[in-house]
Amino acid sequence: IYTIVGSNEERRLTPDQPGLVLPEQLHFVTPEGPMRMQVEFYDHRPR
């Protein structure tokens, strides 16, 4: 579960529904069972 700190927003991330973390956005991820994670950094917002 992807949680944005300071808000009530929580999202379940899946390969079909990835998450986008904005610069300097405080967040944390709570894994549910086995998982694989990939982190990519961009210099512009992906399409």
CA distance 36 to 47: 23
Q: What would the pLDDT profile of 1-47 be if each residue is shown by its tens digit?
A: 999 999 989 999 998 998 888 888 999 999 999 988 888 888 888 77
The pTM (predicted TM-score) of the whole model is: 0.72
Angle at 47 between CA 5 and CA 28, to 5 degrees: 15
Rg of the chain on CA atoms, in Å: 11
- Give the number of other Cβ atoms within 10 Å of residue 6's Cβ: 9
Domain boundaries, the chain: 1-47
Cβ atoms of 45 and 21 within 8 Å: the answer is no
